[in-house]
Amino acid sequence: MNDGNKNTIPTGRFAPTPSGEMHAGNLLCALLAYLSVKSAGGKFLVRIEDLDTDRCPPNSADKLLNTLDTLGLVGDEPPLFQSGREQFYRIKERELRDKARVYPCFCTRAQLHAAEAPRIRDGETIYPGTCRNLTERQIEEKSAMRRPCFRIEVPDIKIGFTDTIAGRFEQNLKEDCGDFILRRSDGVHAYQFAVAADDGESGVTEVVRGNDLLPSTPRQIWLMSLLGYRPPRYYHIPLVCDHTGRKLSKSDGDSAARIVSAYPKERILGSLAYSAGIIDRNRPATLEELVAIFSWDKVRKDQIFLDRI
């Protein structure tokens, strides 16, 4: 096992992508991640997933961190910015290359969509393996035309895990995921890889996040096992809706920054905690009180409707 797993202190994290405003559902996820690990006497980390700088407007990470600070959802260590960890990802990529085959892929998005083989599941394309067996010569020729991305060849194995909320979840890596990208053609490391490497290295023992990421988890577990990290326990929480049942999104008016500037912190915490099922009426609550009474047994497992703040 790597050093990251020497750590037996319960360690949780909130890992937002600062691609725009957080909404109240993101705040609820941050709160649950915090309460879960703090109620177990562990440490809470914040990781800013800003690898894709084109998608992350300047200042949005600061804004997001300010919003979390206002509610007291502060990490026990300074926040980790993925954009500053290129060196670390290079080292981990080298380790992976000793364990699995990583190969250059020259396909454009358009070619992938035009190919017949890929099936789309959960909005993702399953790579048909077009560049898996290129010869050295073909690679040389294609490299002169275009910078490749790098894919990892996945084995024909089933990876399953029991999510504490969503239950048993399994995927066959070959059939359900296909060879996936480790490093994009612009040199930026890809989400699945960066998350697996960072969670492992930080000794994360529990991951609380939205259940839209459930289908990413087997890939991350597999990568962590190749890198010698022990996978965390997962809590994939249901998507959060407003009180009318409408899904919250970053692009509309559900801005977390607006909420924290408009209401006292205890009122926001109490309302989020009530919506999640942690307290039985919508009333102000402190973070300390919520840590003391938190239990996953209380948290709604089906759908979370946000009550009025």
Residue among 17 and 255 whose Cβ is closer to ligand GLU? 17
Question: Do residues 199 and 220 lie in contact, with contact meaning Cβ atoms separated by under 8 Å?
Answer: yes
Asked if 213 is part of the footprint of ligand GLU (rule: CB under 6 A), the reply reads: yes
Distance CA 257, CA 154 (A): 41
Asked if 50 is part of the footprint of ligand GLU (rule: CB under 6 A), the reply reads: no
Residue among 43 and 270 whose Cβ is closer to ligand GLU? 43
Distance CA 83, CA 186 (A): 14
In single-letter form, the type of residue at position 258 comes to: R
Q: Which of 11, 21, 36, 49 binds ligand GLU (CB under 6 A)?
A: 49
Asked if 15 is part of the footprint of ligand GLU (rule: CB under 6 A), the reply reads: yes
Our separate counts of H helices and E strands in the chain read 10, 14
Asked if 209 is part of the footprint of ligand GLU (rule: CB under 6 A), the reply reads: yes
Distance CA 106, CA 150 (A): 9
Asked if 166 is part of the footprint of ligand GLU (rule: CB under 6 A), the reply reads: no
| Residue 216 CB coordination number (10 Å) | 20
Q: Find the shortest distance in angstroms from Cβ 59 to ligand GLU.
A: 17
Q: Find the shortest distance in angstroms from Cβ 295 to ligand GLU.
A: 22
Asked if 218 is part of the footprint of ligand GLU (rule: CB under 6 A), the reply reads: no
With CB under 6 A as the contact rule, which of the stretches 3-11, 15-23, 130-138, 157-165 interacts with ligand GLU?
15-23
For residue 291, give the H/E element and its range. helix 287-293
Residue among 22 and 279 whose Cβ is closer to ligand GLU? 22
Q: Are strands 43-48 and 80-81 parallel, antiparallel or unpaired?
A: parallel
Q: Which residues bind ligand GLU (CB under 6 A)?
A: 15-17, 49, 195, 209, 213
